[in-house]
């Protein structure tokens, strides 16, 4: 199972989608469907979240006071729009610091797996 891309996409999907979700919420008030579309666009077809994943993560963020929400009416329908609370903004920054530390290692590992020069090899 580990030799399939689908296996790895599922592992990456949760953490990457959470990070991208926080990024969308950090831009300002957005509704669930808009978040889903934005994450799909950001992933460029890789690791697309399911609606269930977005909504369950939103529930977790709400329960933890990482987001604030309000009800709005749009084309005669009520919908909830959300944005990051100050606590959510700090969580987003913490996640960004971790991703920033990991990116060089991830880039080098990808290059190694694909037989491409790595940044470490280029520096030697």
Contacts 24+ apart (CB under 8 A), 72-78: 72/31, 74/31
Please compute, for residue 79, the number of CA atoms within 13 A of its CA located in the half-sphere on the CB side: 12
Yes or no: is domain 5-123 CATH 3.10.290.10? no
Domain residue extents for the chain? 5-123
CA nearest neighbour of 58 among 77, 91, 78, 83: 83
pLDDT of amino acid 16: 81
Is the pLDDT at 86 greater than 90, yes or no? yes
Is the pLDDT at 124 greater than 80, yes or no? no
Task: Specify the pTM.
Answer: 0.77
Q: Please list the residues that pair with 30 across neighbouring strands.
A: 82
Contact 111, 120 (CB under 8 A): no
């Amino acid at each position: 199972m580990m030799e399939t891309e689908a296996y790895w996409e599922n592992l990456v999907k949760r953490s990457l989608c959470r990070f991208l979700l926080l990024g969308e919420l950090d831009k300002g008030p957005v509704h669930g469907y808009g978040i889903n579309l934005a994450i799909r666009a950001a992933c460029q077809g890789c690791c697309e979240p399911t609606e269930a994943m977005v909504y369950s993560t939103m529930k977790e963020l709400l329960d933890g006071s990482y987001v604030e929400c309000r009800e709005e009416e749009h084309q005669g329908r009520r919908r909830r729009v959300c944005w990051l609370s100050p606590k959510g903004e700090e969580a987003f920054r913490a996640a960004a610091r971790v991703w920033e530390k990991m990116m060089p290692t991830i880039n080098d590992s990808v290059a190694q797996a694909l037989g491409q020069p790595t940044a470490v090899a280029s520096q030697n």
